[in-house]
Amino acid sequence: MNKLVVIALGGNAIKQAHECGTSDEQFVNVETTCHELIKMNRLGYKIVITHGNGPQAGNLLIQQEESKKLLPPQPLNIVGAMTQGQIGFMFQNTLRNFFHLAGKEVPVVTVVTQVLVDENDPDFADPSKPIGPFYTEQEARVLREQKNYLIKKVKPNGTKIWRRVVPSPEPQMIVEAGSIKSLLEARNIVIAAGGGGVPVRLISDGTYQSLEAVIDKDKAGNILAQAVNADIFLILTDVEKASLNWGLENEKPLDKITVEQAEKYLAEGHFLKGSMGPKMTAAIRFVKAGGEKAVITSLSRATDALAGNTGTIITRD
């Protein structure tokens, strides 16, 4: 097999919406994910892992803001780096332990990653990235008034469908790409670009300066997948397949589709900007850049989807 798969895991899979977000809860969710990753390793796939951090970054940002009377709050770029370390450690520790108990020593390493963005990206003026808890409409209204949060509707229906949003510029380049490739060549499982990476801008003297934003992890995952010449880009979320008319009576799950079909459905507005939209956009970009295929599916069906038995599979033709 020996195909290289970049796996993009949603932050919501690590801290689920109905959970408090304790470390114990998150470790249980990470363990569930790692069982699937172990299966992929046994099937011969080489693995690079990236992950979201929306719930974790949003919660940590609240902690910074609420404790400012006691300690200086850390800005969003530092919060992003902190959650890269947090979630990377959880996967690194759990995967290494699982392999060890199975009698196999596999090195796993986390790279705190910087990702180049354009400081003039329009999302700085009109933020779109949801972070932190979900809120009811009433809760959202209070937070707008009392905390001056920018809050947007991120789901088409339900009770808690509102979330705080922050800027999410387009990723352009993985700064640590060379180091990540070297680690892969040394047969490490690499966890990189967590939470989309820390966004940075390139300044005139050739150095990087971080910016306060949260990059979409699927879009950053695509840039990462291209940088390491991945064969497959696997996006794991909370649904088995992407759908047309999602949440409506005429909802239609998508199986295997071409890039051309995916672009058409995206243009028609079938995929919400704050959820499936970035995933489909990232999948399209990966395949158009030369990837073999992109797959969107749920965590529990990951290996089945790689085998072509489920999920939404996007190919050139």
Active-site residue identified among 46, 241, 279, 293:
279
Instruction: Give the three-class secondary structure for 21.
Output: coil
User: Is 77 among the catalytic positions?
Assistant: no
Listed in order, strand segments (DSSP E) in the chain are 4-9, 46-51, 108-111, 114-116, 129-135, 151-153, 162-166, 173-174, 189-192, 198-202, 208-210, 232-237, 243-244, 252-253, 256-258, 293-298, 312-315
226: CB partners within 8 A, 6+ apart? 286, 289, 290, 291
CA distance 51 to 12: 10
User: Is 311 among the catalytic positions?
Assistant: no
User: Is 11 among the catalytic positions?
Assistant: yes
User: Is 12 among the catalytic positions?
Assistant: yes
Active-site residue identified among 52, 77, 88, 129:
129
Active-site residue identified among 59, 80, 88, 217:
217
For 107, counting Cβ atoms within 10 Å of its Cβ (0-12 exposed, 13-18 middle, 19+ buried), the class is middle
Q: What is the DSSP letter of 121?
A: -
User: Is 147 among the catalytic positions?
Assistant: no
Token code pair at residue 307 = 């085998």
> What's the chain's length in residues?
317
Which residues are annotated as catalytic? 11-12, 129, 217, 279
